[in-house]
Structure 1
Amino acid sequence: MHPRRQAERVPRLVPGARAEIISSTGHGPQIDHAQEINRRMLDFMASVD
């Protein structure tokens, strides 16, 4: 998986999607950076219908 390439593709291919890079993590960003991921998810959900 190429995170930067995916971060560019996802919003282009999925209307309304947002992709972000979380540095210093592996395959479990929701575990490695739980508070940051939760904050970003809540911010995103609050910004859409």
Structure 2
Amino acid sequence: MDVSAWCRQNSSRKKFRKDVATRKGWRFSVAKRKNKEEKDNILDSFSI
């Protein structure tokens, strides 16, 4: 699916960032971190 089309269907920017992180294989390493702020910072670093 086209990324822009997917983004329109899922208007939540945070959800979109999480999905991108998952598809790039980062979710597993992020999930291992216990510090929620650290998780958010990692997700933010992969925002589009």
TM-score, normalised on structure 1?
0.32
TM-score (norm 2): 0.32
Q: Of Structure 1 and Structure 2, which has the larger fraction of its residues in helix?
A: 2
Rg comparison, structure with higher value: 1
